[in-house]
Amino acid sequence: MAAAAARAKELAVAVGKFIDSTPTPFHLCAQSAELLRAAGFVELVETEAWRPLLKPGGNYFYVRGGTLVAFAIGAAFVSGGGFSIIGAHTDSPVLKLKPCSKRSGKGYQQVDVEAYGGGLWHTWFDRELSVAGEVIVRQPGGAFHKQLVCVRRPLLRIPNLCIHLQVRLLLVRVRVRVRVRVRVRVRVRVRVRVRVSAAHPQPVHPSAG
């Protein structure tokens, strides 16, 4: 019993570390790819021919952006046989930064965001937020390179209205219109602009939502 409890705790800690290290689908795919390689899976490239590479008993995977597909071919597999599929999300509700939306006002630098997914957006207000995602970086020679970004310190905040201006709203319930432009106050200058999502930094203070 003690061994089972220790194993469960060890697994929970490992899962927690994995979640903390994968704030966006891009990070999740990168971390999962490392785990698959360590387990003997062979990475495939979509633009290359697969038929010469796929063998019975083999394990394979490929990544496209924030999507990862892994599969195993049975040792006794024959063409026309059945197969099983398991699917899961790599994404989650998030506030995505809009490109080229930086502006200044009231002594703050601001950026526009848009809601992705069905989040409890009022829980994001008055909290220290940061940015994470994948950016495209121009190299000195002119070539472009994808790079993962995760800033683990507070950069942004979405301020709430003062309480006496929203009592009636709170009596009904807090509503955030998904397609309404929300402006985020930025504490420092942020240069990343391409495919970056607002995310909770890890850790700043205990999460409330």
- Could you tell me if 105 and 195 lie in one domain? yes
CA distance 171 to 189: 37
- Could you tell me if 33 and 124 lie in one domain? no
81: in domain? no
Q: Per the structure block, which two tokens stand in for 17?
A: 């570390």
- Could you tell me if 121 and 163 lie in one domain? yes
- Could you tell me if 41 and 135 lie in one domain? no
Q: Which domain holds residue 120?
A: 94-199
| CA-based end-to-end distance of the chain | 33
**Beta carbons of 111 and 130 less than 8 angstroms apart:** no
Percent residues over pLDDT 70 in the chain? 78
66: in domain? yes
Residue 93's CB: how many other CB atoms inside 10 A?
A: 12
Reference 132, options 15, 18, 26, 16; nearest CA is: 26
87: in domain? no
Q: Per the structure block, which two tokens stand in for 173?
A: 């319930």
CA distance 112 to 160: 16
CA distance 45 to 57: 19
Question: Can you give the length of the chain in residues?
Answer: 209
14: in domain? yes
79: in domain? no
CATH number of the domain residue 159 falls in: 2.30.250.10
pTM (whole model) above 0.85: no
Per-residue pLDDT, 31: 94
99: in domain? yes
- Could you tell me if 58 and 150 lie in one domain? no
pLDDT digits (tens, 9 = 90+) for 24-43: 999 999 999 999 999 999 99
- Could you tell me if 66 and 106 lie in one domain? no
Identify the bridge partners of residue 158 per DSSP, sorted by sequence position: none
- Could you tell me if 99 and 194 lie in one domain? yes
17: in domain? yes
pLDDT digits (tens, 9 = 90+) for 39-67: 999 999 999 999 899 999 999 999 998 99
Number of domains in the chain: 2
**Beta carbons of 127 and 95 less than 8 angstroms apart:** no
- ∠ CA 182-154-23, nearest 5°, is 80
Per-residue pLDDT, 198: 43
